[in-house]
Amino acid sequence: MDISLNDQFLQAFSLNSTQESNRLLLRLPVLQGLIDGKTDVSIPALKLGAMNQLRFDFQYMNPMPGGSVDNCVTFQPVQNHVVIGDDSTIDFSKYYHFIAMPDLRAFANAGFPFSRMADLSETIAVMPKNPNEAQMETLLDVTGTIGAQTGFPSINLNITGR
């Protein structure tokens, strides 16, 4: 199993197989690490962005018995279907948060630092007492974009007039 972050290879694990009831069961070493603490996946901070994609690639062969002098086939690719359990979790609780500020890219890509609270509850927008159409449109565009990036509407934004 290969683990990649943002299309950059991070680490590979060998899958351990056991034969049980004519089914090939594969046990992921990542899960073993939760029990014995010996398997960790290190994610270099430089590979992280505002929006990230973690990918697991599974490629394995099925041993085929036999073969001949003329046809030496010992491993045959098989169609496989891998499912990660819907009760699986990824724990980032010990991952330190850091970003050099100011960073306009972080704002453009994720609305950060204003999106720290997804509903914008700790954000204040300072607007003129009588904003014109362009100012209102800009505010709505920005808060709508941040809501799309966080997956939560900007319902607790505080707006004040000067």
Cis? peptide before 113, omega within 30° of 0:
yes
Burial class (CB in 10 A: 0-12, 13-18, 19+), 14: exposed
Calculate the alpha carbon distances from 64 to 54, 61, 78, 102 in Å. 33, 9, 11, 58
Which tens digit of pLDDT belongs to each residue from 119-150? 999 999 999 999 999 999 999 999 999 999 88
Burial class (CB in 10 A: 0-12, 13-18, 19+), 43: middle
Average pLDDT over residues 149-159: 92
- Is the pLDDT reported for residue 6 higher than 80? yes
33 or 139, which is more confident? 139
pLDDT of 119: 92
Within 10 Å of residue 136's Cβ, how many Cβ atoms? 11
Residue 157's pLDDT band, with cuts at 50, 70 and 90, is very high
Which tens digit of pLDDT belongs to each residue from 57-116? 877 666 555 566 677 766 665 666 777 778 877 776 776 667 778 888 888 888 888 888
Question: Which structure tokens are listed for 60?
Answer: 């394995």
pLDDT of 127: 95
pLDDT of 30: 43
Domain ranges of the chain: 2-77, 104-161
38 or 158, which is more confident? 158
Average pLDDT over residues 8-25: 59
pLDDT of 106: 85
| Residues 28 and 40 sit within 8 Å (Cβ to Cβ) | no
CA distance 150 to 142: 12
